[in-house]
Amino acid sequence: MWMKWLMFAVIIVMVDAANRHPVVNVEIASLGHIYPDNGGCLPYAGPSQDIALQMIQEKYQGTFNFSMRYVFDRKIKSCNELADNAVDLASNWWFKTRNRNSIPALIFPACTDPETFSINQIAAAHNLLMITSIDNQNVIRNKTLSPTFVLVGHYNDGSYFDFYKAIVTTYAWRSVFILIDDATRATYFPWVGSIAASSLARIPGQEVTVRHLQRPASTLLQEALREFRSISRVLLFFGRAEGARLLLINAFLLNMTDGEYMTVSASSPPSKVVCRGDDLQAVLYNTPDILGKTRMATWIGS
């Protein structure tokens, strides 16, 4: 009985305090680039951030008022370019455009170590809360150097190692052919490809062949597919969706889509992707059932 009254008294105090104190404004800055080349860019990460913002607005309505400011430059089109300009973007927001009547916070995807490291220096200097969801450079886990950083990202070498080891051992694949598209602007794919190659090479008795593409052209893809066919039956492709689709088109032309071969792609090829500038574009539209005839297993990210 007394417990109920005590709880009621606490609620009354909290309501009275909320009525007497103004709503606290919080401005969240999300830095990034708007060219959709990897999962860390704003076109992909932004919608989930908008949903999260709406949820916390509803949960803390009357106590906090959250706002999101996307910080980007239309001229920046890749993670590497973003890393080169991260300090300028963060500084421009901090010193010029942010709302001085709000509590500031940095919550952004982060797609490279240099970007994360540079912004962390600004966050530490100005006592700014900093949260990243993808990249989390080891040095910023040092609380002396990064007193305001909070790690929520799940992308790390260990998770990728466990994932590829799991699928290879589950299906008892003893020979794997890894094809990495080095031409992509998304550094994510070459990075994950190298992790997959090194992790699978640690498995006793596992044969791993690694090849790199300078560009995903039909002639180069067919050359790689012919080599793959001669030594393995399982292909791991690390590249963008356009490259994955073009790979499957060429596999179809080489009669490699009859179920004998398995392709695991780090990016899922959507049905309407256009292989711009390639002579197989007509094939893409004239044979819309190519993907349906291809036995392909696709895993995205981790």
List the one residue out of 294, 69, 99, 79 whose CA is nearest residue 188: 79
> Per residue in 50-60, pLDDT tens?
998 999 999 99
> Which residues of the chain form CATH 3.40.50.2300?
23-151, 157-298
Q: Is 156 helix (H, G, I), strand (E, B) or coil?
A: coil
Helices (H), 94-148: 113-125
pTM, whole model, 2 decimals? 0.55
Angle subtended at Cα 34 by Cα 32 and Cα 40, rounded to the nearest 5 degrees: 50
> Per residue in 98-149, pLDDT tens?
999 999 999 888 877 778 888 988 999 999 999 887 655 666 777 888 888 8
**pLDDT-derived band at 210, boundaries 50, 70, 90:** very high
Higher pLDDT, 63 or 272: 63
Q: Give the lowest-confidence range in 34-38, 117-121, 132-136, 187-191.
A: 132-136
List the one residue out of 68, 85, 104 whose CA is nearest residue 33: 85
Pick the CATH number of 157-298 from 3.40.50.2300, 3.40.605.10, 1.10.10.10, 3.40.50.2000: 3.40.50.2300
Instruction: Show Cβ contacts of residue 110 under 8 Å, excluding neighbours closer than 6 positions.
Output: 31, 40, 116, 119, 132, 133, 134, 135, 136, 153
Helices (H), the chain: 2-20, 42-59, 79-92, 113-125, 157-170, 188-201, 218-231, 241-253, 281-286
Q: Is 104 helix (H, G, I), strand (E, B) or coil?
A: strand
Q: What is the mean pLDDT of residues 154-174?
A: 77
> What is d(CA 291, CA 288) in angstroms, rounded to the nearest whole number?
7
DSSP string, 220-276: HHHHHHHHHHHH-SEEEEES-HHHHHHHHHHHHHTT--SSS-EEEESS---TT---T
> Per residue in 73-95, pLDDT tens?
999 988 888 889 999 999 999 99
User: Rounded to the nearest 10 degrees, how much is the dihedral formed by the CA atoms of 228, 224, 41, 142?
Assistant: 60
**Cβ(52)–Cβ(98) under 8 Å?**
no
Long-range contacts of 122-130 (CB under 8 A, 24+ apart): 122/87, 122/90, 122/91, 122/94, 123/148, 123/149, 124/148, 124/149, 126/94, 128/94, 128/104, 129/105, 130/105, 130/106
Q: Residue 10: pLDDT above 70?
A: no
CATH T-level topology, domain 23-151: Rossmann fold (3.40.50)
Strands, sheet with 129-132, edge to edge from the N-terminal-most edge strand: 64-71, 24-31, 103-108, 129-132, 149-151
Q: What is the pLDDT of residue 275?
A: 39
Give phi and psi for 56, each to the nearest 5: -75, -25
Mean pLDDT of the chain: 77
> What is d(CA 111, CA 46) in angstroms, rounded to the nearest whole number?
14
